[in-house]
Structure 1
């Protein structure tokens, strides 16, 4: 647990002082909070390396910062194009978290020894191997492969499912057969196994105002963890029976780090959202992080008592549409979205007693619902240490890349 105590007046004053000469909209990362969150992830990982999920950071400078810290090793990327770019930028261990159909990217990977040594691609179907082979375009480099298998908890003969719809491979025997397909095929080397338990790592178990739902989530997750310990061990044994020199077994996410590392079969965990701590990660009992990534919008209207309007703000997060995907006003405390308008593309009305203390030109600080998606809205992040901006670094978008 972080030792940080939320100090709304102090935090708002720090951020306002740090950005007093900067016009909003703008995005910041509080480096002290970011580093404290990184320390907390390492503590929860209990000696196993944390592979940083780039999707949740989307800033090369901050990826480099966290990878310089003891306890972090490697990147879990989200597209092949991003992975090749990171590898060309000096990142030596990049695992693509999702299967790809980027034929041009595979041709580049197969033709470049340095890229082929640094990047590992994800496979859960022989058809993906066929696509890579067809895309090689004469490239002869060996492709490093990681297999993904499905961790979803199933009940009632599979009619009830908890977990994201990812790999079609769920049984150890299926996984072993897929492993044999990789090992038998020239030009590929099986190096890893990944299993992301989204229903444990990515679902909060202490949702404010929903006690019955939260208890149901805790029961589901406890059941899922017990089942997963057995099934993951079986899956790893099945793959190691085919590829005994497997380099890594990756699992988990920010919300499950301490549970995933307890499994002997797991050699590393993945995490990224826990560095920024977006608002969806307030709903966990097992850890408390410090909000590190924020964005500020300027007050441009005062329509009446108890309401101000800020410019922009329509930054919803991905996933099933709902209020939990909207950004929320964070500072000053005492503001809320107008339920009739929500977060708007060009303006966002905010209600509450704190509105009457705000003047045109003042900043309102928001938290995004998810982590790295915020960076698709801003070209740069202002890095704050205490009450000073100590650096300005580009996001992926600021470097001219929108990978997905």
Structure 2
């Protein structure tokens, strides 16, 4: 039985190698997306979004950054319980709308004037896209960039959501959470809401508050650090709920909100319990990347497998892979390296780690590898592999069922 917090490797990776060889997929590196695992993870997220005492559950908004494959976004959005996309840039949102998306919230503020002008000139985009703001400088930039495009088509206003910071600061000088919005209090949120409503070309429709210190920090380790993380989360969760509810109430006195977005894969259950939240962002939990291996309350199945070739045997118990160095963004550390899933018994060579062009792996299992063999890795983050390949090979059951182009495969690059 899989221990709590450990990844469930449902797909036999030796059999996956054999399947690719049998079907003539010789290209390496290769990115294989397991649709069975993706669907199982989506089901688990839907279950967790049921919350506490809320029969219908809370809607899930898919974080596009964690997929970056339109076919997979469409697959998940076709499921009950999922509604809308949380994009990461305005150019991406515009592109998605051009391809049929109808509800896209941009999770981060934009300063891209050309994209803002494209938004203001498109009735379709104005109806579908919501921009994120957290200070009046954003409002001024949006209006300045689009000044010559007023009045807007059909009188449409630019849709905005404000972001509330819900990082946990129990005492002065101690802070847990991402450095995001400067809005920390209900009064500050209300003040910005008043500024937005005072500008007739803008429309406040939503609020977002992302608890990254709960959603994005693993907590299953049976160590002093793991115990400290669990304590921090236990104290932070009620603080988040109280401040979010207070801010929603304050802003709602100014303007009714269409949505209040919160959470992330790692906090779906606790966020769903809040009556002030109408939707939860989730994305990484669909893929099950390496950074999500050690959560206490859930365990996603690894859905994205990266196959690389052995090209050298420079010494006993050493094999060299071509490539493999897809290192995740964030604070540099060993947890940003790919996870070696197959064969078991391999580790990165300490003096080289994961390299862009070559990656030596060491250990007893390396002795059995030969030139041309495949080693299976898993990226630390869910969406970043899509920036390295043009397509994912899709598998379901014991068959290859097709391919799906990544954003890069469609010629799109947004960051």
TM-score, scaled relative to structure 2 = 0.93
Which residue matches 1:287? Answer: 298
**C-alpha distance in 1 between matches for 2:9 and 2:109:** 43
**C-alpha distance in 1 between matches for 2:207 and 2:352:** 45
Shift of 1:206: 1.7
Please tell me whether residue 155 in structure 1 is matched to residue 170 in structure 2: yes
**C-alpha distance in 2 between matches for 1:82 and 1:7:** 32
Which residue matches 1:203? Answer: 217
Aligned match for 2:46, one of 42, 46, 52? 42
Which residue matches 2:239? Answer: 227
**C-alpha distance in 2 between matches for 1:249 and 1:371:** 24
Please tell me whether residue 217 in structure 1 is matched to residue 217 in structure 2: no
Which residue matches 2:36? Answer: 32
Answer with 215-224 or 380-389: which moved more: 380-389
Aligned match for 2:102, one of 81, 85, 92? 92
Partner secondary structure for residue 154 of structure 1: coil
Which residue matches 2:270? Answer: 259
Aligned match for 1:241, one of 253, 262, 276? 253
Which residue matches 1:387? Answer: 398
Which residue matches 2:319? Answer: 308
Runs of 4+ in 1 over 6 A off after TM superposition: 1-5
Aligned length: 399
Partner secondary structure for residue 180 of structure 1: helix
CA contact (8 A) 1:17 1:388 kept: no
Which residue matches 1:83? Answer: 93
**C-alpha distance in 2 between matches for 1:126 and 1:254:** 30
Which residue matches 1:106? Answer: 116
CA contact (8 A) 1:99 1:122 kept: yes
Aligned match for 1:144, one of 156, 159, 173? 159
The CA deviation string for residues 7-59 of structure 1, in whole angstroms up to 9 with x for no partner, is 68x61133112311222111010010010001001110012110000000000
Partner secondary structure for residue 169 of structure 2: strand
**C-alpha distance in 2 between matches for 1:335 and 1:65:** 34
**C-alpha distance in 2 between matches for 1:18 and 1:266:** 44
Partner secondary structure for residue 371 of structure 1: coil
Answer with 16-25 or 94-103: which moved more: 16-25
CA contact (8 A) 1:53 1:76 kept: yes
The aligned runs of 1:276-355 (5 Å cut-off) are: 276-355=287-366
Shift of 1:156: 2.3
Partner secondary structure for residue 161 of structure 1: coil
Shift of 1:5: 8.7
**C-alpha distance in 1 between matches for 2:41 and 2:8:** 14
Aligned match for 2:186, one of 162, 169, 172? 172
Please tell me whether residue 66 in structure 1 is matched to residue 67 in structure 2: no
**C-alpha distance in 1 between matches for 2:145 and 2:368:** 60
Q: Structure 1 residues 151, 5: CA separation in 2 closer, same or farther (over 3 Å shift)?
A: closer
Please tell me whether residue 133 in structure 1 is matched to residue 143 in structure 2: yes
**C-alpha distance in 1 between matches for 2:8 and 2:90:** 39
Partner secondary structure for residue 160 of structure 1: coil
Which residue matches 2:54? Answer: none
TM-score, scaled relative to structure 1 = 0.96
- Structure 1: give runs of 5+ residues left out of the alignment: none
**C-alpha distance in 2 between matches for 1:7 and 1:188:** 48
Partner secondary structure for residue 401 of structure 1: coil
CA contact (8 A) 1:324 1:369 kept: yes
- Structure 2: give runs of 5+ residues left out of the alignment: 51-56
**C-alpha distance in 2 between matches for 1:235 and 1:97:** 18
The CA deviation string for residues 369-400 of structure 1, in whole angstroms up to 9 with x for no partner, is 01101111111100011232211111011111
Answer with 224-233 or 134-143: which moved more: 134-143
Q: Structure 1 residues 306, 87: CA separation in 2 closer, same or farther (over 3 Å shift)?
A: same
Partner secondary structure for residue 234 of structure 1: helix
CA contact (8 A) 1:341 1:348 kept: yes
Partner secondary structure for residue 268 of structure 2: helix
CA contact (8 A) 2:7 2:293 kept: no
Partner secondary structure for residue 44 of structure 2: helix
CA contact (8 A) 2:32 2:305 kept: yes
